[in-house]
Structure 1
Amino acid sequence: MSVEVSRLSNGLTVATETIPHIESVALGVWVKSGSRNERQEEHGIAHLLEHMAFKGTGRRSAWQIASQIEDVGGEINAATSVETTSFYARVLDTDVPLAIDILADILTDSKFDPAELEREQNVILQEIGAAYDTPDDIVFDHFTETAFRGQRIGRSILGTPDTVQAFTSAQLRGFMDRQYAGDSMVVVAAGNLKHDDFVREVEKRLGSFRPTSGAEAPEQASYVGGDFREDRDLMDAQVILGFEGRAYHVRDFYASQVLSMMLGGGMSSRLFQEVREKRGLCYSVYAFHWGFSDTGIFGVHAATGKSDLAELVPVIVDELRRSGESILPEELDRARAQYRAGLLMSRESAASRASQIARQLLLYGRPIPMEELIDRLAALTVDRLADLSHRMFSGVPTVTAVGPVSPLASYDSISQRLGGTRSAGRTAAIG
């Protein structure tokens, strides 16, 4: 299996990976525009636009968009992230032209009907309310808002009730016209198809799409860290301890990914064994690393009862510090194997493969061969991971907590235990 790439005259990139032993195709359009590309007054518009794309075009009603794809047993959906928006479908190989036609239709001829807009605004208001009522969701919104205080990259993708309710059809159309263009979009398919046939279908429907956008580049991100606590009368507390991570393009990105696996990527990880298995201080603990185009963020999320919160965070901090002092070769081998297996297993899903190719094209401008990724993993050493750990966890932390948080140690004491001397840029407490 290999990836073939073509570029249309309007700058649109089209890529495919043929997987001949299956009978379906996963395909979609990925746009290099997400919540980070919103202007100050547009908070939440990228996500609202994703919803509204399925609410009717000049040729199809909302019902027809859904029913035509489901009449052939297919599925269609969309997603908004910080830096991208995607519209994708999965169908049998014989129905690829229909899927392309529907996706192109919603991208070129969405009506943004005011009555549909009002209904969808109400749906998103419910989403916002549901997120607030779900502590293990809202704690992540507070986490990014605190880590990137006052910046678009840190804002919730959903927006706020005030901003979402204020949007008009004209604003949606204006955002789409400004952000969506051939040079900022990729169309990718993986499954049982031929590249040239797919390119012809895409060119037929999107070849005349505007070549360039009038979008300004998003503001440069700046990690600042800090402290946020919301005291709520809940059974458990949700806590995230975070640090500045690494962008996709930097040398330490894959090392950061593997470090997160080693510390909290499974039941054999350091944090799971020390915090949950040996001490029983929480019912959930894991580490994660998110990369963006110009920055990243590393975090440890834990959920525990009020009585264990005071002891929990110091134990996590001590494990992070120890990783900067010593990493065993078998720990690196295990984490590397987990990450490698995840990469290889993802290739068994056409949808995962299409998404991975699209992400690589948007971020790197080329698909990255699996052999190259495996070589990068093989080049990691225990000394390099220990050095990265020491540097990362010596930086300014971000502490975010929701629930019965009064037993949680102060931000300054957490920072000092990590070996840092700087205080938070902001301390916020609600409750």
Structure 2
Amino acid sequence: MNVEVSRLSNGLTVATETLPHLESVALGVWVKSGSRNESENEHGIAHLLEHMAFKGTGKRSALQIATDIEDVGGEINAATSVETTAFYARVLNDDLPLAIDILADILTDSKFDPAELEREQHVILQEIGAAHDTPDDAVFDRFTETAFRHQAVGRSILGTPDTVESFTSPQLHGFLERQYGAERMVVVAAGGVKHDDFVRQVEERLGAYREKTEAVAPQYAHYVGGDYREHRELMDAQIILGFEGRAYHVRDFYASQVLSMILGGGMSSRLFQEVREQRGLCYSVYAFHWGFSDTGIFGVHAATGRSDIEELIPVILGELQKAGERIDQAELDRARAQYRAGLMMSRESPASRASQIARQLLLYGRPISMEELMDRLSGLTVERLADLSARLFSSKPTVTAIGPVGALAPFGSIQDTLNAPRPMLRKLAV
């Protein structure tokens, strides 16, 4: 790993990974502030701010921001997640100073013009409507809301129509000033970049950025679990069955990632083979594990027709119970190989490399080498994964379903089955 890290006098962390064979650079500014940093009446403001950052500064209009980067063939974008917000670009090596200038410009001098704000609020209202009209998106929003009820970590990133329409330009400026400070930000570049030159250019544009903020640490997340069902007349029912997962820093985080791959990470996974290939109960079924700084969530998502729901759920529950009894060494080896290949393939993309380094710096305070990641994976055993499964899937579940879900078993029956001996599966009824 050819990663170099420097810290400016204001506390801003600057990192690079030099890939000398590339003629381009992927770079960005990552901020340790996302949707969970919002107060209840700010729901959706982090995402709106990300949109508004491209709508004009003191020296560039919204059109000029777009044309300046595209005149040199570059790309620029941004993204908001639960715990971070990122502003990033990709340009040819010679155009790196321009990209740094534009990113610094939108972070230090965004106007948040009221007319532009009104237009962008309308755009986000359409985005919220589109998400609601897309069941396989909506079910994930309802899933996190149910798992972390009445908590910022569980709220949708987009906000609600009422909150989004309520925001004003002063509120956006206020949120930016409270949440964006050098000590909570990292600037990372990967590609044909020279570290010292990059640090100097970032220092020129962001070296005077405010050091600290008045931001209050987000409330500690508390997994609740529960049941949410929304009846819609659709062809398929979207169903997620979830459990409390593991935070980035805890011992079982990587074990949970690997377990999700064994259960539903590919065509050879247990759920895909049993649910789709052997029984033909649905087109799509997979498992996932999301980690946050203080908690996590493990889930299984399936899309199935009305007539197959009654059979599908006992089959999924059976596979979860089996994982608590036995994990095969071949399954563990295959999942490790998949995980390693995914990491190695992502290293071929400078944008992925920059994002990965930024995430590690924000979470761990340092870049994590591939060798260290592989050491963590090599320490996993089949006994440890089976033990994790038994603990994970005996906790209170989160059940979320949208569509023709009348045949879905009651929540209590699902919970009882997960804590019962395996023969109980045959008795699961609506």
TM category, shorter: over 0.9
AA matched with 2:397: P
Verify the 8 A CA contact 1:146 1:225 in the aligned structure 2: yes
SS of corresponding position for 1:299: strand
CA shift at 1:313, angstroms?
1.0
Paired position in structure 2 for 1:6: 6
Matched residues in 2 for 1:390 and 1:348: separation?
Answer: 37
Paired position in structure 2 for 1:320: 320
Deviations 1:46-75 (A, max 9, x none): 000000000000010000000010000000
Paired position in structure 2 for 1:168: 168
Paired position in structure 2 for 1:76: 76
SS of corresponding position for 2:267: coil
Verify the 8 A CA contact 1:394 1:420 in the aligned structure 2: no
Paired position in structure 2 for 1:231: 231
SS of corresponding position for 1:149: coil
SS of corresponding position for 1:228: strand
Matched residues in 1 for 2:4 and 2:325: separation?
Answer: 44
- After superposition, residues 221-370 of structure 1 pair within 5 angstroms as 221-370=221-370
Paired position in structure 1 for 2:207: 207
CA shift at 1:365, angstroms?
0.4
- After superposition, residues 104-183 of structure 1 pair within 5 angstroms as 104-183=104-183
Paired position in structure 1 for 2:97: 97
Matched residues in 2 for 1:193 and 1:217: separation?
Answer: 34
SS of corresponding position for 1:266: coil
Moved over 4 A (4+): none
Verify the 8 A CA contact 1:325 1:386 in the aligned structure 2: yes
CA shift at 1:403, angstroms?
0.2
Paired position in structure 2 for 1:184: 184
AA matched with 2:300: V
Verify the 8 A CA contact 1:248 1:292 in the aligned structure 2: yes
Verify the 8 A CA contact 1:89 1:99 in the aligned structure 2: yes
Matched residues in 1 for 2:417 and 2:94: separation?
Answer: 60
Paired position in structure 1 for 2:398: 398
Deviations 1:299-325 (A, max 9, x none): 000000000011111100110010000
Paired position in structure 1 for 2:425: none
SS of corresponding position for 1:281: coil
AA matched with 1:107: L
Deviations 1:265-295 (A, max 9, x none): 0000000000000000001000000000000
Paired position in structure 1 for 2:385: 385
Matched residues in 1 for 2:345 and 2:40: separation?
Answer: 40
Matched residues in 1 for 2:87 and 2:185: separation?
Answer: 11
Matched residues in 2 for 1:290 and 1:328: separation?
Answer: 24
Matched residues in 2 for 1:407 and 1:300: separation?
Answer: 18
Paired position in structure 1 for 2:47: 47
* Identity value in percent: 79
AA matched with 1:231: H
Deviations 1:368-426 (A, max 9, x none): 011000111111100000000100001000000000000000001101110179xxxxx
Matched residues in 2 for 1:197 and 1:21: separation?
Answer: 18
Matched residues in 2 for 1:334 and 1:63: separation?
Answer: 49
Q: How many residues align?
A: 421
SS of corresponding position for 2:254: helix
SS of corresponding position for 1:324: helix
Verify the 8 A CA contact 1:247 1:293 in the aligned structure 2: yes
Matched residues in 2 for 1:290 and 1:54: separation?
Answer: 29
SS of corresponding position for 1:294: coil
Matched residues in 2 for 1:351 and 1:224: separation?
Answer: 35
Task: Say whether residues 1:18 and 2:1 are aligned partners.
Answer: no
Matched residues in 1 for 2:132 and 2:394: separation?
Answer: 32
AA matched with 1:391: R
SS of corresponding position for 1:87: strand
Deviations 1:138-189 (A, max 9, x none): 0000000000001000000000000000000000000000000000000000
Matched residues in 1 for 2:420 and 2:157: separation?
Answer: 31
AA matched with 1:115: A
Paired position in structure 2 for 1:427: none
Verify the 8 A CA contact 1:34 1:81 in the aligned structure 2: yes
Paired position in structure 2 for 1:428: none
SS of corresponding position for 2:325: coil
Paired position in structure 1 for 2:427: none
Task: Say whether residues 1:408 and 2:408 are aligned partners.
Answer: yes
Matched residues in 2 for 1:314 and 1:202: separation?
Answer: 56
What are the ranges of 5 or more consecutive residues in structure 2 without an aligned counterpart?
Answer: 422-430
Q: Normalization by structure 2: what TM-score?
A: 0.97
